[in-house]
């Protein structure tokens, strides 16, 4: 069942719909991150009898494949742009390690407590990006030497732990951080964010594979669709420029705000009831 056979209880339209969702998720993720906003709900809706860890593991296969494809496209399209890849690589390694720590901490902490904090952070990100019209329009790295390296380590630790523990919005948080902290434009920040996100996805996927929590019948076709969508998204972002990515970033972050706001409201309502 995990590898080739179609689960007998699932309708025949399940795989095509999941592939379509994965294609759209890859397209959005390839430009500004946030594809999980589309892919994860689709998996949960179309695979209602599958345990949540298996749903997450299946989705990770597609996410890793798509993120890797878009990262490759960005790296080709940004040849010659001044990015300190040593710092980005260190941030990626640290993020991968802390993602594992975050995943292990899930069982001991209440993730619902994190939602209001992330919601507030996303609102601030959206407001700042909207207010600063030139935010992310110029590529002017402002950190150098040890300061840049230690900022990368801190970024990797914080974002990595968050991705392993909670996850939604990781790509958008990384994108904002590389623009706001490092002074990258949106395109260079997107490329850097993809590299770090690959590391966190690898760590998470390794855990799910080792525990047998991947439905390959769905994961592999979804991965192919996600690669296609991510490649198209990265190509579109590179062609349209930083202004287009900035607007789309605001759209995706706004969608996250609405989603987390609704979930937080429901949690508060349940607690009062």
Query: What mean pLDDT is predicted for residues 222-228?
Result: 97
The mean pLDDT value of the chain amounts to 83
Q: Of 24-28, 101-105, 197-201, 203-207, which gets the smallest average pLDDT?
A: 101-105
Query: What mean pLDDT is predicted for residues 35-49?
Result: 85
Q: Smallest Cα–Cα separation from 217: which of 35, 103, 50, 68? A: 50
pLDDT score of 1: 43
N-term to C-term CA, the chain = 41
Q: What is the rounded CA–CA span in Å between residue 123 and residue 107?
A: 28
Q: What is the rounded CA–CA span in Å between residue 243 and residue 133?
A: 9
Buried-state track 249-263, b at ≥16 Cβ within 10 A, e below 16: bbebbebbbebbeee
pLDDT score of 108: 63
pLDDT score of 4: 43
User: Quick check: 254 pLDDT over 50?
Assistant: yes
116, with CB counted inside 10 A (0-12, 13-18, 19+), is middle
pLDDT score of 21: 92
Q: What is the rounded CA–CA span in Å between residue 108 and residue 126?
A: 31
Q: Smallest Cα–Cα separation from 114: which of 158, 63, 52, 152? A: 158
- 3-state secondary structure labels for all residues of 72-103: HHHHHHCCCCCCCHHHHHHHHHHHHHHHHHHH
Of the pLDDT bands very low, low, confident and very high (cuts 50, 70, 90), residue 44 is: confident
Q: Smallest Cα–Cα separation from 170: which of 103, 107, 232? A: 103
User: Quick check: 208 pLDDT over 90?
Assistant: no
Q: Which carries the bigger pLDDT value, residue 243 or residue 82?
A: 243
pLDDT score of 23: 95
Query: What mean pLDDT is predicted for residues 18-26?
Result: 93
Q: Could you tell me the two tokens for 167?
A: 């996850």
- Which residues, 6+ apart, have CB-to-CB distance to 239 below 8 Å? none
Q: Smallest Cα–Cα separation from 193: which of 19, 56, 35? A: 35
User: Quick check: 194 pLDDT over 70?
Assistant: yes
Q: Tell me, yes or no, if the pTM score tops 0.85.
A: no
User: Quick check: 183 pLDDT over 50?
Assistant: yes
Q: Of 24-38, 46-60, 82-96, 102-116, which gets the smallest average pLDDT?
A: 102-116
Taking only the tens place, the pLDDT of each residue in 67-110 is: 999 988 888 877 666 678 889 999 999 999 998 888 777 656 66
Taking only the tens place, the pLDDT of each residue in 104-143 is: 776 566 656 666 777 787 788 778 777 776 666 667 788 7
Of the pLDDT bands very low, low, confident and very high (cuts 50, 70, 90), residue 173 is: confident
Q: Could you tell me the two tokens for 229?
A: 């969508």
């Amino acid at each position: 069942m995990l590898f080739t056979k179609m689960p007998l209880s699932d309708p025949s339209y399940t795989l095509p719909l999941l592939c379509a969702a994965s294609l759209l998720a890859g397209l959005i993720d390839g430009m500004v991150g946030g594809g999980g906003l589309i892919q994860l709900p689709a998996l949960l809706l179309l695979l209602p009898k599958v345990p949540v860890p298996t749903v997450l593991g299946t989705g990770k296969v597609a996410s890793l494949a798509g993120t890797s494809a878009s990262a490759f496209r960005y790296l080709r399209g940004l040849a010659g742009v001044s990015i300190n890849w040593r710092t980005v690589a260190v941030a990626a390694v640290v993020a991968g390690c802390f993602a594992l720590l975050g995943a292990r901490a899930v069982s001991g902490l209440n993730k619902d407590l994190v939602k209001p904090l992330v919601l507030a952070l996303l609102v601030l990100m959206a407001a700042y990006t909207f207010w600063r019209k030139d935010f992310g329009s110029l590529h002017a790295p402002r950190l150098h030497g040890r300061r840049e390296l230690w900022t990368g380590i801190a970024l990797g630790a914080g974002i990595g732990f968050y991705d392993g523990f909670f996850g939604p919005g990781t790509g958008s948080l990384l994108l904002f951080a590389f623009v706001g902290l490092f002074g990258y434009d949106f395109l260079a920040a997107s490329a850097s964010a993809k590299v770090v996100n690959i590391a966190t996805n690898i760590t998470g996927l390794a855990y799910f594979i080792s525990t047998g929590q991947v439905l390959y019948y769905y994961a592999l076709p979804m991965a192919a669709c996600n690669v296609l969508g991510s490649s198209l998204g990265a190509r579109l972002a590179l062609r349209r420029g930083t202004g287009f990515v900035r607007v789309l970033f605001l759209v995706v972050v706004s969608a996250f705000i609405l989603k987390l706001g609704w979930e937080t409201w429901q949690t508060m309502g349940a607690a009062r009831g």
